[in-house]
Amino acid sequence: MDHSSHSRVALVTGAAGGIGAAVARALGQHGVRVAAVDRDASRLAAAVEKLTADGLAATAIPADVTSAADAGRAVDRAEEVVGPLDYLVNAAGVLRLGEARALGDTDWAETFAVNATGVFNVSRAAVQRMVPRSRGAVVTVASNAASTPRTGMAAYCASKAAATMFTKCLGLEVAAYGIRCNVVAPGSTDTPMLRDMWHDETGPRATLDGRLDQYRVGIPLGKIATPAEVAEAVVFLLSDRASHITMHDLTVDGGATLGV
- Catalytic residue IDs: 156
DSSP assignment of the chain: --TTGGG-EEEEESTTSHHHHHHHHHHHHTT-EEEEEES-HHHHHHHHHHHHHTT--EEEEE--TT-HHHHHHHHHHHHHHT-S-SEEEE-------B-GGG--HHHHHHHHIIIIIHHHHHHHHHHHHHGGGT--EEEEE--GGGTS--TTBHHHHHHHHHHHHHHHHHHHHHGGGT-EEEEEEE-SBSSHHHHHH--STTHHHHHHHEEGGGTEE--TTSSPBPHHHHHHHHHHHHSGGGTT--S-EEEESTTTTTT-
User: 207 and 188 in contact (C-beta within 8 Å)?
Assistant: yes
Diameter of the chain measured on Cα atoms: 52
